[in-house]
Amino acid sequence: MRGRHVDTSHGQIRVWLTADRPGVLVLPGIRWSGRPLAEEIVLGAPERPVAVADLPGTGGSAPAAAAGPGPAADALAEVAGALGVHTVVGLDMSCDLAAAVAGRAEGCRELVQVDRGHLAAARELPPPDLAPRPDGTHLAALWQLVRDAHLFPPGAPRSAVPGRAELPGPSALDRTVVAFAEHPEHFAALWQTWCRASEDPYAGTRPVTHAVNAGGHGPTPVRRWLDRLSRAHGRVAAAVPPVPERRMLPLAGAPPVGTAPDGRGTRIRREFVETSVGQVHVRVAGDPDAPPLVALHSAPGSAGLLEPLMRGLAADFHVLAPDYPGNGESDKPWRDEPGIERFADVIAEVAEARAAGPVHLWGTHTGALIALELCLRRPDLVRRAVLEAPPLLPPDFTADILEHYLPPLRADRFGSHLARAWGMRRDMFLFWPWYRDRTAADRPLRVPRARELHDWTVGLLQSGPTYHLSYAAAFRYPTRERLPKLAVPALICAGPDDMLADNLPALRAAAPDGVTFAEMPATCWYPDQDPAAVAETVRRYRDFLGAPS
């Protein structure tokens, strides 16, 4: 199984493919996001090739496509066309959306709707309020919403649905909740899109080939509804019925159709890069013909926190920001404790796959050490490097951190790990290290606003039970022994609010001649930084990276 991002007129839609020629596009509803449902299909029916979409506004799919039934169905129909799909399947809340997609997709000749009763009942309910809250309880509410959808009819959480499919395990529930949580502000729009999709004029142009459990609430076991699909691949498409003239269905408060996926001026795309350890998820910004720059994030989350930096550098560079294996939305291949050198080797694979020649590097914290090691292992691949606050801690402090800083973060059936993740991320702004909740460990930072803290927590949750591997590799890395070998032009720096800024004197003492040191006005990926200080910091990065080597 592999992930793929499909470009559409409303932004990118992420799909999970169980084979190269899937033939079938599955639209999950309220119970599943794309990846865990695709994994469930592989386990239950490995012989049935399918593509499972992350719905607009969830996971890695464009929020702009969640603005109404028309944009959502347009985008998904473009996906169906790009994949050569002949069958569209809608599960529970997506039943009518699947009909609107099938009515648009030229090669589609089969429509399957599963557990439609859930959608009919949900139309009588208001969309759940999942706006981020300062205490993080919105994540627990989302967990309960998804889990209860597998157990109960909507609005009646007392008696389980008879004959339902087995409840997914905590890991599958977790991945669905995290995918839904990535854009919580768009969830209400998606809920309305589900409930209003029957109003779309294209929804009635394709007859339902199969209605599975139309009168009940489900969930129907995967194997049962998959067995209702035809096995046709490559047949000549049937004639497509004429469709009525398109009419728009705007939602109150929704962005107008055609609004760019990223409203802040610089488009950031996503893609997967194949490497020797699996797929690496990469954010991309800037002109592909500009000098390439690989931006490497801090542990334990994803490169999502670097999007402000990417926008600042995209005017001058083609910026690639990968999630490390085991972090964010990259594959989780490690079954041991990898060292920084293994992360550096994977980043080298990404750079060679996406850039025609040597690249600039920008790395912060863990990312600074990965950049340093890549400079040492592959100096032919690196032009210049910015190393922001690479860790260099006393041995006793390192031992204490390795013992206390990285507690397990594994999903359980009640979602209690969500509160742990929120609390860890919150206290990381209050204390250094976060587990020493004493006045002597106070940091001069404010707790981020609920929406910002939500983003930081989602990045941690995307990394899941392997979040700690890149962290531990960084704390074990022999910075003092490796730094003197650096021969690539490099800038070592830190902002005043960075808890590792105190390392600069020790780093200066260990670094070879020729390395540039600077105190920066801001840590540009932190919340609540002064905009002018951030702009000046990014300008200094541009000046250093753009200087002749």
Per-residue pLDDT, averaged over 119-138, amounts to 90
Q: What is the DSSP string of 355-382?
A: -SS-EEEEEETHHHHHHHHHHHH-GGGE
Does residue 234 surpass a pLDDT of 50?
A: no
Contact 51, 114 (CB under 8 A): no
pLDDT band of 163, cuts 50, 70, 90: confident
The three-class DSSP label of residue 303 is: helix
Cα torsion through 310, 308, 54, 57, rounded to 10: -140
Q: pLDDT of 33-60, one tens digit each?
A: 999 999 999 998 888 899 999 999 999 8
Does residue 355 surpass a pLDDT of 80?
A: yes
pLDDT band of 216, cuts 50, 70, 90: confident
User: Residue 525 corresponds to which amino acid?
Assistant: W
For residue 243, the model assigns a pLDDT of 42
Does residue 442 surpass a pLDDT of 50?
A: yes
Does residue 441 surpass a pLDDT of 70?
A: yes
pTM listed for this prediction = 0.92
pLDDT band of 339, cuts 50, 70, 90: very high
pLDDT band of 231, cuts 50, 70, 90: low
Q: pLDDT of 387-396, one tens digit each?
A: 999 999 999 9
User: Residue 405 corresponds to which amino acid?
Assistant: Y
Cα–Cα distance measured from residue 351 to residue 339, given in angstroms and rounded to the nearest whole number: 19
Q: pLDDT of 505-526, one tens digit each?
A: 999 999 999 999 999 999 999 9
For residue 122, the model assigns a pLDDT of 87
Cα–Cα distance measured from residue 331 to residue 339, given in angstroms and rounded to the nearest whole number: 17
Per-residue pLDDT, averaged over 377-382, amounts to 97
Q: pLDDT of 270-297, one tens digit each?
A: 999 999 999 999 999 999 999 999 999 9
Q: pLDDT of 78-87, one tens digit each?
A: 999 999 999 9
Count of C-beta atoms within a 10 Å radius of residue 125? 11
Give the burial class of 342: count Cβ atoms within 10 A of its Cβ; 0-12 exposed, 13-18 middle, 19 or more buried.
buried
Bigger pLDDT: 244 or 501? Answer: 501
